[in-house]
Structure 1
């Protein structure tokens, strides 16, 4: 047992970012009386269980989203689909704050010995059980429209054939890789500075609430800055956050930077989704958006997690944050410099234009300014 702890002394502080997590990990290991071989087997079993669980739940979000969209389309209420996004950040805010507050209250009552993080898994299981009960009444259309199996391949070929989508995909990939550095190590960094779990949950909720408060200005922001400018602003804010995190001096100092999540996460993804919808061919907008948000961003998070772990082990957490900041700033400069040189191809989304025509019931205004086809052709020429 002692040999395992001696070898772990050189690794754990690098992983955790400071002495607080080292002492906690050593205390947990002593309490469980695990040898080095036992620690390895525990890690492998935990990793295998986590991978198996992620494989089971990976399609859950996309299936639920598609089912909800098809149900609203079935009842002719797709206009309500865009207003349902607010429940995601609200649920995330309530979940992280509620679970951490509940764990803080029940820790003294339920925990006698063993890792204190077990209560978080109990809370996760409780929320999952409640979600299972609610899913029974989830609206799923009876005659579900069967999606063509080639839509994902078609969306992938569309990305490969459009320079703007290639640049956008690289941007999303790098954002996912940089975001993984925050998701993987920021809480440990806060714990090293004496932060409680409730403050960690509040920091996540603060970013989600900032996105909700900024949403009423979404249209104005995209119109004034353009989509390219909004993506650039999001990259700059994310780089500023990472640089700020590398110089944290107290547990509360992370809270002001979390407000920038409204731009570095919210506004950036608004611009990405709007660009994808404009560049997608008819029938591929949803598949292309799901690919950007799931495969490309998720791939960036996966690679960023692996590379970030090696950087933290070899150097330090501050070096990881500063390196991510430099990479994002370099890509921001390249992104803004190549945008004017890309072919400006804007496809006309006729389904949107038909909806606009159907909703326009006023015939009082004269002239070609009310002709949606003329408007579309003018926008395409410009």
Structure 2
């Protein structure tokens, strides 16, 4: 299991690394777990959080007790807590193509057979505050399709994709290869589902990364020393102040570019889902096997490419005009912040002002993990290096 590290600020602007390994810390593992507890989570494109009956019971008890007793209730009941996710009945667009404003797209075909098909698309964030122009590559289907049958297979899928990327440093998958990776990863997940030892530990069949790597789905390892755990906008929330931020993680990744000739592959965990980030000197790639993470109704896995041609715009305050936010590889950072996490941060910030948001919810919705992966030529009893 990757040890959780965040950066805390001390007096005189010094820093020290603190471990959040204890149950009291409320820092989750990659699959939303804490410690040895299992959870009842499932992949959800909406990421709407609902609390189980034990959490609701604990919350009701806390309202009848004073601060000191509340603290003890939270501490004693932590190991009984479980999370569950449900898809919101209200259909809201996660990310979408603004066809009304930008109906034209430019397709770039690098093969007459259509095996490479990068399309220049304009994407609009769900809150309408940002617009991205970047290259997108679609598979024929995603993990939830009948062909793949990998409903909750994202953890196995990222292991399979990471292994392929490490085996093909200078390449990105063609469409047939991308399709094949999705079917392979989903097949590996179904094999894990047939093992009662795994399903007893994970009744929802949403296995954590450590379980998948120890099962030797693919010879991939994760290095603790080169991995990061942080939060989106921690300074906006009292209980997260001093924790390592997403921007600090990104700066660490950028600063390592000059020291690495080979591409780096990170397995990212956020909001009950796994996807892959490939870092190259000239481009960053996001690879996601769940289409609805791009926009609601999308049933195709996709890759986003951020290079010198990428542009992002945002609306000016109190005006309808747009201004340039960033360009190039920096659009990858802003895409994750403005397209994926922005609404969650805004909603939780409002709850924080009302005093109604818990540390439990903040950690679940704002924590992001970057697992540094590498190729392993030999089978190991442990695929997490410390």
Q: Scaled by the length of structure 2, what TM-score is found?
A: 0.24
Q: Scaled by the length of structure 1, what TM-score is found?
A: 0.24
Larger of the two Rg values belongs to structure: 1
The structure carrying a bigger helix percent of its residues is 1
The structure carrying a bigger strand percent of its residues is 2
